[in-house]
Structure 1
Amino acid sequence: MIERFHTNARMSRIVRHNGTVYLCGQVGEGETVTEQTRDCLSRVDSLLTEAGSTRRDILAATIWLAHMSDYPAMNEVWDDWIPAGCAPARACAEARLAGSDLLVEVIVTAAVST
């Protein structure tokens, strides 16, 4: 069974299927990539909790940065956020994001917590 949460005509914020949780891309508020990454990951936490998962259950993450020069600052926040021993498969690339004020977007796939 496929379950969709917070669905509109364009997308669902969460899709859960066969014990796997898929989140739509999350962005955050703030002036700096550090602030936006912290807020973005807080939103990921909330959605994972709602879907019955946690950051310990993340299988894969894709991170888009508006500027690769922000990679070290984003990684500082990420490294503090991801639990030790739970690093997921991850990719990070530079991309033009949907808004000119956006610096980072994170897409996560996770297992449902058992």
Structure 2
Amino acid sequence: MTLTHHDSSERMSKYVIHNGTVYLSGQVPSDATANMREQTEQVLARIDDLLARAGTDKTRLISAQIWVSSMEEFADMNSVWDAWVAPGRPPVRAAVEAGLANPDWKVEIMAVAALPEG
């Protein structure tokens, strides 16, 4: 079983591939001054980019873990998520309110996806 680490620092890898599965690290927004909708769009764009670099895409998502800084903005995050997720292929998902590493971040998302077969 092959295990490869990609875009790694001493602390973490942005993604790891193991046995046909891509594991993404938690993705955060690039602009912490943006509102929840914009931050969620930024995070999902990062996920799209990492999945493409790994050789897969959001249609092959298996699971997602979502952390939001306030449940008061949960609906805003969900509206962006719902427009982004592949129709008919939503992953299993958990979402919780949490204090994030940067107090200006409103959302962080970690995802797991399958590589195409063959």
The TM-score by the shorter chain falls in which range?
A: over 0.9
Stretch deviating more after TM superposition (89-98 or 30-39)? 30-39
Q: State TM-score, norm by structure 1.
A: 0.97
Alignment correspondent of 1:6: 7
Structure 1 residue 103 and structure 2 residue 87: aligned?
Answer: no
**Which blocks of at least 5 consecutive residues in structure 2 are unaligned?**
none
Aligned partners of 1:36 and 1:103: how far apart in 2? 7
- Summarize the alignment of residues 8-27 of structure 1 with structure 2, pairs less than 5 Å apart: 8-27=9-28
Q: C-alpha distance in 1, partners of 2:39/2:81?
A: 11
Residue 51 of structure 1 aligns with which residue? 54
Amino acid in the other structure paired with 2:88: G
Query: Which residue of structure 2 lines up, in the alignment, with residue 63 of structure 1?
Result: 66
Match of 1:110, SS state, is strand
Aligned length: 114
Q: Which residue of 1 aligns with 2:86?
A: 83
Percent identical: 41
CA distance in 1, matches of 2:103, 2:65: 20
**C-alpha deviation, 1:46, in angstroms:** 0.2
TM-score computed with the length of structure 2 as normaliser: 0.94
Q: CA deviation at 1:113?
A: 2.1
What is the deviation of 1:16? Answer: 0.2
Residue deviations 1:59-91 (CA, integer Å, cap 9, x gap): 000000000111100000000000110100000
- How far off is 1:108 after superposition? 0.2
Q: Which runs of 5+ in 1 are unaligned?
A: none
